[in-house]
Structure 1
Amino acid sequence: MRTETVPGTREQLLAAAERLLGESPYDAVSVRAINTAAGMNPAAVHYHFGSKDNLVAALLEDRLAPRWRAQLEDLSARRNAGWTPAVAELVDLVLAPFTELAADPLGRLHLRLLARFVLGRRQVRWTAHWFRLRPWTELLRAARPGLSVPEARRRWMLAFELILQTVGAPLAEDACAGPATVAALRAFVTAGLEAKA
């Protein structure tokens, strides 16, 4: 039985991109540089991901989804059992992991990349369920049944933008939000999501 010790092409590209993006600004890292750093042919990123943005989206899903999997699976199970979330609980589900990431250098890189996509409203190919707005919209509408789907989506978009601007934007790179800032952010986002339509 043969055991593969060399990471697959996909993982090599993700690791190379993560390393290069940790060393240089996003726009300074080219697809060619990623392919070269991974030891791949010049078309590898386009073949496996379609674009640099989609590669970075896959990187974020690959690195962040496992950190949140247990918590989100528990949320799904509770929801399927009939639990209706409170808005503050939903905010905590988002804010707590983001503030944990902000305290770690590699986590800050991931947050900065996520902030780039969310704040820039970039269209990328998210494949993971929880990286899309739909499940969050459904949860908010369960907590606030009077909200329409478009209104719940708008509120979450604004909430994610504010959270990422506070804990993940490039200007926040070296300064983690302190407890008072996180508490104020939690209260503000909760109030915005709960507000009457």
Structure 2
Amino acid sequence: MISRIHGTLLAREMDRVEVMTPGGVGYELFIPLPVFERLPRLGEPVEMRVYHLVREDAVLLFGFLEETERTVFARLLGASGVGPRLALALLSALPAERLVRAIRDRDTAALTAVSGVGRKTAERLILDLSGKLDDIAIRAAGVGAQEPGVEEAVRALTVLGFPAPTAEDAVRAVLQEGGSRNAQELIRAALARMR
């Protein structure tokens, strides 16, 4: 399976790119709109995370600039009735972090605003992916990068049965109170806030 491609950007369109590797092999990758908007200029180097899809009638490559985008795409494909075209449409209309938040928060209005997603499809996405995006929601919250132990604290709270959004909010509130804390201190303080 192809998981990453590094090479020179030869062509770019709104929905696809062509990347030439140093070995002289050119790959066509389908992309969501936010990836297109962040691509380098033609002729410049690019490294893309790849989702390699093998079907009876085709071998398709989907390209992303961030691991989070690729992970969300893969999980979307795991939902009933979601194929690569709809998954790309979702990621084109909503950035990966916003899409995860919409599913986590059961925001059918945000999902149905995407072309090709009706009420039933939105509800099915929420049902199929409920709880399967929590690890992405934790990373997307942006808290783990600043303070050590934050991601661990949020994970521990979700294991204890608290919903990911509640755990994230509690840990964020503890961090805003100030002071550097390790994971155990964050967990204790967050639990105290949630009681």
Q: Tell me if both proteins adopt one fold, taking TM over 0.5 as the criterion.
A: no
Question: Which structure carries more helix by proportion?
Answer: 1
Structure of larger gyration radius: 2
User: Hey, which of these two has a bigger chunk of strand by percent?
Assistant: 2
